[in-house]
Amino acid sequence: MKLKAIALATTAAIATSGAANAQEVLEMTSAFGKNLPILGTAGVDFVEKINSISEGVEFEHFDPGELVPTLEALDAVSNGSVDAAYTTAGYWQGKITAASLFAAVPFGPEAGEFLAWMLYDDGAEMFQRMYDENGYNVHVQPCGIIAPETSGWFKNEINSMADLEGLNMRFFGLGAEVMQRLGVSTSLLAGGDIFPALERGAIDATEFSMPRIDARLGFYNIAKFNYFPGWHQPATMFELLVNKDVWEGLDERSQNQIEVACLANITTNYAEGEATNFAAMQSNVDENGVTNMVWPDEMLATFESTWNEVAAELAAEDPYFAEVWADLQEFREGYKTWGDTIYLPRPRN
């Protein structure tokens, strides 16, 4: 997918379209409840966008569990029991080794660079190939993105790598591989399951998302130390999955309108996170007794070196991971010519 091509195709389709097709209604499960700001509202916003511009297709939004549980959405869309899903590929890490490379990459690209690779380089094509080559009958479309998440909520202050050893922690995607190497026992829990697990002591710590989103889930009631930066998720990409038979049954205009609605959703999803999280950080401190913590440079260096080891091993074990990883690294090396030159240096403490 190339952004310019989509825009031109949509313009052409609108110009040449005749009478509107009969409306087709697609049931869409979301990985995130609509009560969650930024994460959950993005799925709702996408549905509002597409339904306001399309004459041939309409989406109906369902919260996690109403049609299928969060972690079963890929299989459900592929087998046709659900038409579509708004989710993130990081949830399929246990099924497809390369999946999280299309969701969030530790010490990887931030939002602008990630979108550049996805929309104007090889990312989108490789994203679809990943599902095709693993036997999933889905069409995938990038449909949201957020800036870095927090690195985690801990009940006790973490002063060294030794303080991590033996912890049970909810962790997402490729970052979980790093934490396990460092002595943390990780599990992937859906958003609604995290607070009960913290409360009953099944987990000692958690990461989930941004401060505003995490505040809605109440982690601050139990874990008072919130760590930054989110090295494991410098940006997180979200996907729209549509059953491929359903997708191919749509007319070209409807397909283009879905793609354009997703591109618009990427913009509003990213902007909402950037606009609202600083207030949540301050509220956590002033009202919830949270201490915002920054990882020491030496611990970040350990996280990064461990990630490099994990990435090398995954590439050695899985040919498609290796192919995607090499492509992303090649793009990033070229991007440095621009990124390291044009942007102001970041302030350091």
Decide: helix, strand or coil at residue 163.
Answer: helix
Mean pLDDT of 288-295: 97
At residue 18 the predicted structure's pLDDT band, cuts being 50, 70 and 90, is very low
Domains along the sequence of the chain with CATH = 24-148+234-275 (3.40.190.170), 152-232+279-338 (3.40.190.10)
The model's pLDDT over 141-166, given as tens digits with 9 standing for 90+, comes to 999 999 999 999 999 999 999 999 99
What pLDDT digit, counting tens, does each position of 321-330 carry?
999 999 999 9
Residue 267 contacts residue 145 (beta carbons within 8 Å): no
Write down the pLDDT at residue 13.
46
Tell me the two tokens of residue 209.
């998302």
Position 345 confidence tier, pLDDT thresholds 50, 70, 90: confident
Q: If pLDDT is split at 50, 70 and 90, which confidence band does 191 have?
A: confident
Q: What is the mean pLDDT of residues 261-277?
A: 97
Q: What's the mean pLDDT in 109-125?
A: 98
Q: How much is the average pLDDT of 3-32?
A: 62
User: Taking each helix axis from N to C terminus, what angle separates 319-342 and 297-317, rounded to the nearest 10 degrees?
Assistant: 140
pLDDT per residue over 230-242, tens digit each?
A: 999 999 999 999 9
Residues 76-105 have pLDDT tens digits of: 999 999 999 999 999 999 999 999 999 999
The contacts found for 7-15 with CB under 8 angstroms, 24 or more apart, are: 7/260, 9/252, 9/256, 10/253, 10/256, 10/257, 10/259, 10/260, 13/252, 13/253, 13/256, 14/253
| Whether residue 295 has pLDDT greater than 90 | yes
Report the binding-site residues. Answer: 149, 170, 207-208, 233
Q: Between these two residues, 101 and 349, which has the higher pLDDT value?
A: 101
pLDDT for 11 equals 43
Spatial separation of the C-alpha atoms in residues 282 and 290, rounded to whole Å: 9
Q: Enumerate the known binding-site residues for Na(+).
A: 208
Q: What is the pLDDT of residue 346?
A: 62
CA–CA separation, 288 and 332 (whole Å): 39
**Residue 347 neighbours by CB distance under 10 Å:** 5
Residues marked as binding for substrate? 149, 170, 207, 233
pLDDT at 124 over 70: yes
296-321 pLDDT tens trace: 999 999 999 999 999 999 999 999 99
pLDDT of residue 190: 86
CA dihedral of 311, 314, 318, 322, whole degrees rounded to 10: 10
State the average pLDDT over residues 216-237: 96
pTM of the model: 0.90
Residue 186's pLDDT is 96
